[in-house]
Structure 1
Amino acid sequence: MKIVYFGSSQFSSKVLEGIVREGIKPVLVVTVPDKPQGRGLKVLPNPVKELSLRLHLEVESISNLNNSDFLGRLKALSCDLFLVVSYGRILSASLLSIPNKLPLALHPSLLPRYRGPAPIQWVLIKGEKETGISIFKVTPKVDSGPIILQKRMSIENKDDYFSLSEKLANLSIPAVCEAIEQIESNTYKLIPQDESKVSYAPKLKKEDGRINWSSSAVTINNLIKGLKGWPGTYTFYRGIRVKILEAEPNSTETNSSPGFIVDLDKEGIYVATLEGVLKIKKLKPEGKKEMSTNSFICGYRPKVGEQFE
């Protein structure tokens, strides 16, 4: 089975590494061009390209998928399948017609729920207890094609974006192998998505990470877990932007207004919310390294009654 793999993210890299380990080696990996990254804006390859080079896979970084030379190269490969995993770009109808069998995609949610570019983040933000992955036929309408198979998993209270991404990537590897076996044996079925159950996971912006203290402690903690890494969650303290890296909801009752500090100890800073108290355990003031709340307390000397805004 000749497969062309499309991907660019860390999640996609994990899936690619796993299927290669299982003996599924794409004839070509297609990814996005290198771009400036980090504070120094050094031009670096994305995780999929980096992995492909390390595994000696044929890889092409391309900005224009409809380039005639590129389309010609794809057609000349006479591939059986496309496998699209967190690629970040929409494939045109002309591209989708190239594989001899199917253009496939893997999406880290239980479609039709959480269609879009940020499903892992949004299931955590929304406080879902279950998620999974879907393998489906790609159609011109994003994340809307008929499903070949799905795998489900529970979300644990301790899960954040990083841990859930890792678990979903591990869940995806045997699922991809199973889907390919079904296609090879022509035993697969295409199940249309139920359009009445559609929900979306839109692209996140930096400002989505601003904490609204007039939410419940559980809601704020879900946001912190979902936005771990990028864009991260933040608030302001004495005019300083502070990232909140780790917290947990506390059911303590308080009469304080949302955002005000109600208690302090070596374990955390306790902040009133609309419902319950949020215990902040790890944070990062702008321009500083991440620190425990105990280190923050020693350095900034916060007091009960002060406000996070």
Structure 2
Amino acid sequence: MTNIIFMGTPDFSVPILEKLHEQFNVDLVVSQPDRPVGRKRKLTPPAVAKKAADLGIDLYQPEKISHPESVEKIKSYNPDIIITAAYGQLLSEDVLNIPELGCVNVHASLLPKHRGGAPIHRSILEGDKETGVTLMYMAKELDAGDIIASVKTDILESDTVGTLHDRLSELGTKILIKELPAILNKENSRTPQNDADATFSPNIEKDDEYVEFNRSAREIFNHIRGLNPFPGSYTTINGQRLKLYLSKILKSKSKETPGTILKDTKGGFIVSTNDYDVEILEVQPSGRKRMPAFQFIENNQSLIGQVFGVDNDS
């Protein structure tokens, strides 16, 4: 019987763990430690840790997977293979060398493009037309190991990071379950990556969330949907944050300063950019819930003519 360790942390990894355990039986789940969540900073287990508990699988949540104590814990399960999906920590060589069949990762991009921690966000932010999932052997360098298999999907105009996240999680589950028997039997193919084609997609930082309207409508459109629903993009008006969740590119072009709120519409309100105007369709004012943009502007008519990102009270 094959001994399998699964390492993962967020929602993306949950369907993969479920199907893997159902089809092959997982002996140990390794996930990130519980973290404070929300305004009350309540200590909360990550999604994969919750699922492991539901499934009755042994769970281990080390602060550092590379720590000697962690390495010994992994060794104690005598794994034949380690499978990871959005775990969130780099595996040291000490861990990579433990399983006879190696460490296999489900990565949410078409490697070598979008190596790193935020491939789904960055694929939309950068305006890619397609993305996918790559099943790969893990190596010391980040996301640089040999490719076992990959599957593609188009990035639709209607996609947000949320919809694409769910689709890639499903594709990742399918490709792992399809390829794993060959991997376990040492019959799978493996293709080295071309490092010259590699691009990197670092984690989303706070500065990445701010929307600059002095850019093209297409860039703004991709920015807003590329952070919807998590972590969300935002702008400021009269010193207050306004999160932006949905927008649409229009055919009109305004000569007003980029970021000017031009007028309200049935769906929301129109804002100028450095080329085509955009219509903002869904927002979240500071301290309130998400709402249709027409509802927000209906209650804030005085904002029409003002400019996002400028202190309009001065």
In structure 1, what is the equivalent of residue 201 of structure 2? 201
What's the CA shift string for 1:101-127, capped at 9, x where partnerless?
111111100000000000000000011
2: CA distance between counterparts of 1:108 and 1:185? 25
Counterpart AA for 2:20: I
In structure 2, what is the equivalent of residue 237 of structure 1? 237
Counterpart AA for 2:21: V
Which SS does the other structure have where 2:104 is aligned? Answer: strand
2: CA distance between counterparts of 1:304 and 1:66? 54
Compute the TM-score of the two structures, normalised by the length of structure 1. 0.96
2: CA distance between counterparts of 1:86 and 1:180? 18
Gaps of 5+ in 1: none
Q: CA deviation at 1:303?
A: 5.0
What's the CA shift string for 1:205-235, capped at 9, x where partnerless?
1121111111111110101111113331111
In structure 2, what is the equivalent of residue 177 of structure 1? 177
Counterpart AA for 1:2: N
5 Å-filtered alignment, 1:7-26, equals: 7-21=8-22, 23-26=23-26
In structure 1, what is the equivalent of residue 45 of structure 2? 45
In structure 2, what is the equivalent of residue 4 of structure 1? 5
Q: CA deviation at 1:68?
A: 4.0
1: CA distance between counterparts of 2:25 and 2:282? 42
Which SS does the other structure have where 1:136 is aligned? Answer: strand
Which SS does the other structure have where 2:253 is aligned? Answer: coil
2: CA distance between counterparts of 1:262 and 1:159? 26
Q: Indicate conservation of the 8 Å contact 2:20/2:26, yes or no.
A: no
2: CA distance between counterparts of 1:202 and 1:141? 14
Which SS does the other structure have where 1:148 is aligned? Answer: strand
What's the CA shift string for 1:62-112, capped at 9, x where partnerless?
113244444333223221110011011011111111102111111100000
What's the CA shift string for 1:145-188, capped at 9, x where partnerless?
11111111111111111100100011011210122111133221
Moved more, 235-244 or 105-114: 235-244
Matched, 1:128 2:117: no
Q: CA deviation at 1:141?
A: 0.6
2: CA distance between counterparts of 1:154 and 1:253? 29
Which SS does the other structure have where 2:255 is aligned? Answer: coil
Q: CA deviation at 1:260?
A: 0.8
Counterpart AA for 1:11: F
2: CA distance between counterparts of 1:165 and 1:60? 25
Compute the TM-score of the two structures, normalised by the length of structure 2. 0.94
* Structure 1 residues 158 and 239, CA gap change in structure 2 (3 angstroms): same
Moved more, 231-240 or 94-103: 231-240
2: CA distance between counterparts of 1:284 and 1:185? 51
5 Å-filtered alignment, 1:1-309, equals: 1-21=2-22, 23-309=23-309
In structure 1, what is the equivalent of residue 312 of structure 2? none
Moved more, 71-80 or 1-10: 71-80
Q: Which runs of 4+ in 1 moved over 4 A?
A: none
Counterpart AA for 1:172: G
What's the CA shift string for 1:8-29, capped at 9, x where partnerless?
11111232123334x1221100
1: CA distance between counterparts of 2:126 and 2:51? 32
* Structure 1 residues 73 and 237, CA gap change in structure 2 (3 angstroms): closer
2: CA distance between counterparts of 1:188 and 1:242? 50
Which SS does the other structure have where 1:134 is aligned? Answer: strand
Which SS does the other structure have where 2:180 is aligned? Answer: helix
What percent of counterpart residues are identical? Answer: 28
2: CA distance between counterparts of 1:264 and 1:246? 15
Which SS does the other structure have where 1:14 is aligned? Answer: helix
Q: Indicate conservation of the 8 Å contact 2:268/2:295, yes or no.
A: no
Q: Indicate conservation of the 8 Å contact 1:109/1:134, yes or no.
A: yes
